[in-house]
Amino acid sequence: MSLYRNFAWFVKGLSEFTKNPFLAASKRFVEKDLEVSVAGRVFMITGANSGIGRATATAIAKRGGTVHMVCRNKDKAEEARADIVKETGNKEVFVHVLDLSETKRVWEFAESFKRKNKTLNVLINNAGVIMSQRETTSEGLERSFSTNVLGVYILTKSLIPLIEKSPDPRVIVVTSGAMLVQKLRIGNLQSDRGRYDGPMVYAQHKRQQVVLTEQWAKAHPTVHFSVMHPGWVDTPTVATAMPDFHRSMKSSLRSPEQGADTVLWLAVSEAAAKNPSGRFYQDRVMVPAHLPLAWTRSSTLEEHKLVALLDDMAKTFQPH
Per-residue pLDDT tens for 274-290? 999 999 999 999 999 99
- Distance, in Å, from the CA atom of 63 to the CA atom of 66, rounded to the nearest integer, reads 9
Domains in the chain: ranges and CATH? 2-316 (3.40.50.720)
Assess whether 281 carries a catalytic annotation: no
- The closest of 46, 235, 205, 206 to 127, measured between CA atoms, is 46
Which CA distances in Å does 123 have to 4, 128, 140, 244, 250?
Answer: 35, 15, 27, 33, 30
Residue 4 confidence class, pLDDT cut points 50, 70, 90: confident
Per the prediction, the chain carries an average pLDDT of 94
Residue 7 confidence class, pLDDT cut points 50, 70, 90: confident
Q: What is the pLDDT of residue 1?
A: 47
Of 257 and 244, the one with more pLDDT: 257
Residue 55 CB contacts under 8 Å (≥ 6 apart), including other chains: 255, 256, 257, 259, 260
Residue 140 has pLDDT above 50, yes or no: yes
Residue of 4, 196, 202, 281 marked catalytic: 202
Q: What angle do CA 299, 304, 310 make, to 5 degrees?
A: 130
Average pLDDT over residues 133-159: 97
Of 9-13, 140-144, 174-178, the range with the lowest mean pLDDT is 9-13
Q: Report pLDDT digits (tens) over 185-239.
A: 999 999 988 899 999 999 999 999 999 999 999 999 999 999 999 998 988 777 7
